[in-house]
Structure 1
Amino acid sequence: MTATNLDSDDVAVGRKRAVLLHCLGIEGQRIFQSLGDCPTYKDVVDKLESHFGPRKSVILERHRFRQRGQRPGESISSYFATLNKHAAKCNFGTLTDEMISDQLIEKTHTPRIRERLQMEPDTLTLHKATTLAEQIENALSDSHVIASDTMSLEPNPVKVKLE
């Protein structure tokens, strides 16, 4: 479309459609005719993309979602974002938040987070689960800093050799 100056908005949609169909060639036109009626250029592009585009498998996407655990060094917020991205492809519908929450609890690499979230009642929301997990992660990180600072303040025993 760019090469023939047909990519501007003032070009007739029918003309764009005709050029696209011409460029498909005989075999492409045969396939296009089997896809049904497409009166506009956008309809043609959508039908062709759905026909030739990659097939999406909900089963495969759900498998990938269930297999995805939190990686060592990965923050809870980053893990949560990744789970959201995967869940969007899984067609969980109204169960999306519950599935993400379950996955967060089952596959976190921090036992303290898992234990704390399991102590929550069944009314635990995804928002509360991620907030608690982030608070625990921050507290654990802070406690390591405090512990290492305390260790560096302890005096080293001086060994004196008496002669």
Structure 2
Amino acid sequence: MAKFHALDPFDFTQPAAWPAWRQRFSLCRIASKLNLEDDNVQVNVLLYAMGKDAEPIFNTFTFGDDEDDYYNKVINKFDVHFVPKRNTIHERACFHRRSQLQGESVEAFVRRLYELAEYCDFGIAKDEHIRDRIVVGILDSELSQKLQLESDLTLEKAISMTRQVRLVWEQLLLLQLLVLGEQLHWL
């Protein structure tokens, strides 16, 4: 079994951080091959890694007689405990209000849209919503217009076009700096 540094215990004062902590534990669980152990061992390691405040919460959980998939049942109980039911209307409102911020890279803007869309229950239309939000929310109005003119615009194509524009701008800026450097050199 591989050796890893211990995870930081879960911060129980920040319940919203549970999904991120759970994901880190899941990565560690697989990398260390803990997932191949008995469910009771996995649950005990989970509780230990979470910290001493996990036990009182765990002790409030009730389980049926069926002990199949015990580890996942415990994880689901912690999910219910820490993650409140999301209000889809509010989540979608936050998504639809999101525009690229001044100084925010296109990559960061797109990544944030993916994060916001995660809780919007868009289903199979998720990519279309993200694509539309990029078109409407991007700061570069010329690029927005170009994207709007693409009748077969997909999310992948929208992201690709925004990346190309960024690369062209970076190359033009570099070229201008080189020309300016040459001009200063001759002075």
Q: Distance in 2 between matches of 1:49 and 1:79?
A: 31
Q: Counterpart in 2 of 1:39?
A: 66
User: Any gaps of 5 or more consecutive residues in structure 1?
Assistant: 1-6, 17-22, 159-163
Q: 1:28 is matched with which residue: 60, 78, 86?
A: 60
Q: Following superposition of structure 1 onto structure 2, how do residues 1-163 of structure 1 map, counting pairs within 5 Å?
A: 9=37, 28=60, 32=62, 37=64, 39-40=66-67, 41-42=70-71, 45-46=74-75, 48-57=77-86, 58-121=88-151, 123-151=152-180, 153-154=182-183
Letter in 2 for 1:109: L
Deviations for 1:109-142, whole angstroms, at most 9, x for unmatched residues? 1222212111211x21111111111111221232
Larger radius of gyration: 1
Shift of 1:80: 1.7
CA distance in 2, matches of 1:71, 1:119: 23
Query: Under a length normalisation based on structure 2, what TM-score does the superposition of the two structures give?
Result: 0.57
Change (3 A) 1:12 1:100: closer
- Mapped partners of 1:11, 1:79: distance in 2: 40
Query: Number of paired residues?
Result: 136
Q: 1:129 to 1:150 in 2, by over 3 A?
A: same
| Residue identity matched to 1:141 | E
What percent of counterpart residues are identical?
24
Could you tell me how far 1:64 is from its partner in structure 2? Answer: 2.2
**Matched residues in 1 for 2:82 and 2:120: separation?**
18
Residue 28 of structure 1, CA deviation:
3.3
Cα 1:84–1:45, aligned 2, differ >3 Å: closer, same or farther?
same
RMSD (Å) for aligned C-alpha atoms: 3.5
Q: 1:113, 1:137 within 8 Å by CA — same for their partners in 2?
A: no
- Of residues 125-134 and 55-64 in structure 1, the stretch that sits farther from structure 2 once superposed is 55-64
1:50-106: CA deviation from partner (whole Å, max 9, x where unpaired): 542321322222222222222233322232222122212211111111100011011
Deviation at 1:46, TM superposition (A): 4.6
